[in-house]
Structure 1
Amino acid sequence: MNTKLVNAAADVVARAMENGRRVPAAVAVALESAQMLMSPEIAAELKQLRKRVAGLETERHSTNEALDDAVQELRARRQGEPVFVYRSEHPDSGIVLGTYSNREAAREHCEAVVRREWPEGTRLSFVWATENEDLLSPEELTVLPGQNDEDLTGYVVTPLEVASAYDEDGDE
């Protein structure tokens, strides 16, 4: 039982009776005017919606808990491991496009800039190449605008290690 709703309905009924309404239909009109009546179909639909919202709240709560657990686990695992950011740039011209927490975003920025350099509708393929196969080497973007054409763009994604603490003995 919803005591707030019952008290509100009782208040509407009391005011209707104070205003001289004694016939049950007149009291019901007062309740309807206060938007406190609904059809059985609407009541059933409201009950279903409330169940669905409660389920979504429970699901959201468990998802948030799972995400929090995952973040805590990642933090514990990464403690002491180096952290990297990725700078997208055109070093020959001194243009730095941006610095990102993941390699894919840095690559995406370079590819978007190169796409704007070509006429609209030109079919482009991109290849990222590195001199070494390790993950810490800079990658250069090559564009393939045709079947056999290959063009170095000069755009590079460079991994940069982020220090987690100051090292007094480190290089300055």
Structure 2
Amino acid sequence: MLPEVGSQVYIQSFKHDGSLHRTWAKGFVIEAGVRRVIAVTNKTWVTEADGRRWFTREPAICFFYPDHWYNVITMIRKTGIYYYCNLASPSLYDGEAIKNIDYDLDVKLFPDGRIEILDEDEYVQHGREMGYSEPLKHAVEKEMDVLIGKIKKKESPFNQKEIECLYHEYLELLHTTLQSSGSEKL
């Protein structure tokens, strides 16, 4: 099952123990295929597991993969494109939301090309507390290596031209959707 291009979807991230980790109130779907789903979040509410809520300030193009143990959020800021990569289970759409399980490790890519690996301590701690199996840890760690390789080679989605094209596509699709629905805001 795939979401419809031009539709809005809810995005949910869980932890290994089934608890809710983070939710995005809406993502505007600009691509929905068997290899990836791309949704744009722009000025939407994000709710953390502890109930804390915040509003996104800039557009972010989010890449969800059904066959990779990560998802990628590209934040378009005045100072450049920042990438935040969550090591997570493959994503799925169940008709209600795009869902995945967050496995703590994150890779951040800055506009200057600097790479930072985040939350390694949290990964070890949660692995102990929630009982991450050896095959699970192997899958997550292997995919982190794949992800870093893609970053270094500037492969999709780590290509600025691709992000610029997708952002332009989002703006056109949003405009068309707003015109056809007679709505002023999505």
Higher Rg of the two aligned structures:
1
- Which structure shows the bigger proportion of residues in helix conformation? 1
- Which structure shows the bigger proportion of residues in strand conformation? 2
Fold in common (TM above 0.5)? no
Q: What's the TM-score once normalised by structure 1's chain length?
A: 0.24
Q: What's the TM-score once normalised by structure 2's chain length?
A: 0.23
